[in-house]
Amino acid sequence: MQVFYSITEIHMKKITIDDVAKKAAVSKGTVSAVINGKSTVKPSTRDHIVDVMKELNFRPKGVARNLKNGNQDKSIGIIIKDINYPFYTSIAAGAMEYAASKGYSLLVTSSNSDHKWEKKYSHLFSAKDIKGVIIAPTVVGSTEIEHLFKLKMINYPFVLLEEVMGIQANVVAIDNIKAIKKAVKYLIDSGHQHIVHFAGPENSSHTQERIEGFRYAFSESPLIFKKEFVAYIGADFDESFAKTKEYFAHKVREDYPTAIVCFNDRQALAVMLALKEMGIRVPEDISIVGNDDISYAKIYPVPLTTIRAPQHEIGRMAAEILIRNIESTSAFQVERVVLDTEFVVRESTRILPRD
């Protein structure tokens, strides 16, 4: 027998696993098996139950209670990539500020850019009645987004700080393409013709977006883009330092670029220090542009020209979307917010003399 609920009836009561089972015309055990990711349920049945859960805005017990305790015990989580990198700590601060204004605590964890820790923390939050989570995703392969599918399956609220291919989810990010185009245009207008981009992790959507912006800047200029103008040197300091030295090891000085656009400010510092060790001056020999404008970029060995991301606003907006989803009594449309950046010129770049 199929059971129908009116919208009024659904919103007046707390939705339970019994409600899902009745509406889906299956047993409670089958619904439980779907919630727990068991492989014993046929794909068609699983998809039907997931659709019903979304329609009823059901969240399993232990995932999100009915907020019946008012402002008590309300908390959300955030999984950042590196707790030591100021870009992410500023985002967490913005999220914490907004969460506190709505009566929520924020639990901060770091995956250390390790996928297994991201997966572990996302499972922990969803199992321990943390109402929702903000995630800076670590994507190292197309198959390693299963934990995000699981969160969607159980209707657990989350917001990503980066697009992940194949996942329809709330996202708050910056306009990386526009930001890098602006930086490269500045360098071209400053007389630079041999510009390279030191890219970040290959599977990151931020990396690919920044490469796309780099290419677009060339297409809108008299310069011709070549694939060797992009070098993947990672985002980790030690890796970036080593790969910078490796990049220059087999080049003669006449082939050096006159400017490098870096994936982020931490990579830019690694590049600066590697160049200094090799006797290459910044900006006299090579101009350096970073990305993020972290708090200490202006006190680098050479104050860094960089792209200022609205870090605090990213965190605040992510928390706002997350809490709005948590407190909604009906399914929410996926939101994608893209924030603009500001280009900040300091001493690490120079204008080249015109011939």
Identical fold at 7-56 and 176-309?
Answer: no
pLDDT above 50 (res 330) = yes
CATH: 3.40.50.20, 3.40.50.720, 3.40.50.2300, 1.10.3720.10. Which one for 176-309? 3.40.50.2300
Q: Closest Cα partner for 186 from 303, 299, 5, 348? A: 348
Instruction: Provide the residue ranges of all domains of the chain, joining segments of one domain with +.
Output: 7-56, 75-174+311-340, 176-309
The residues pairing with 174 across neighbouring beta strands, listed in sequence order, are: 339
The band of 32, judged by pLDDT with boundaries at 50, 70 and 90, is: confident
Give the mean pLDDT of 274-300: 96
DSSP string for residues in 43-111? HHHHHHHHHHHHHHT---TTT----TTTTTT-EEEEEES-TTSHHHHHHHHHHHHHHHHTT-EEEEEE-
The pLDDT score that the predictor gives to residue 351 is 96
Rounded-to-integer distance, Cα 3 and Cα 116, Å: 41
pTM passes above 0.85: no
Rounded-to-integer distance, Cα 73 and Cα 59, Å: 17
The residues pairing with 261 across neighbouring beta strands, listed in sequence order, are: 197, 289
Average pLDDT taken over every residue of the chain: 87
Architecture per CATH, domain 7-56, reads as Orthogonal Bundle (1.10)
Buried-exposed string 177-213: b where 16+ CB fall within 10 A, e elsewhere? bbbbbbbbbbbbeeebeebbbbbbbeebbbbbbbbeb
Rounded-to-integer distance, Cα 66 and Cα 290, Å: 45
Task: Give residue-wise pLDDT tens across range 219-270.
Answer: 999 999 999 999 999 998 999 999 999 999 989 999 999 999 999 999 999 9
Buried-exposed string 299-324: b where 16+ CB fall within 10 A, e elsewhere? ebebebbbbbbbbbbbbbbbbbbbbe
The band of 62, judged by pLDDT with boundaries at 50, 70 and 90, is: low
Rounded-to-integer distance, Cα 44 and Cα 337, Å: 33
φ/ψ of residue 290, rounded to 5: -100, -165
Q: What is the fold, at CATH topology level, of the domain defined by 75-174+311-340?
A: Rossmann fold (3.40.50)
Between the ranges 60-64, 124-128, 219-223, where is the mean pLDDT highest?
219-223
Buried-exposed string 242-275: b where 16+ CB fall within 10 A, e elsewhere? ebbeebbeeeeeeebbbbbbbbbbbbbbbbbbbb
Higher pLDDT, 5 or 215: 215
Peptide bond into 201 cis (omega under 30): no
Task: Give residue-wise pLDDT tens across range 34-46.
Answer: 877 676 788 788 8
Tell how strand 230-232 and strand 195-199 pair up: parallel
The pLDDT score that the predictor gives to residue 27 is 86
φ/ψ of residue 320, rounded to 5: -60, -45
Are 123 and 158 in contact by the 8 Å Cβ rule? The answer is no
DSSP run (H or E) holding 241: helix 237-249
The pLDDT score that the predictor gives to residue 332 is 74
pLDDT above 60 (res 143) = no
Lookup: tokens for 27: 């047993």
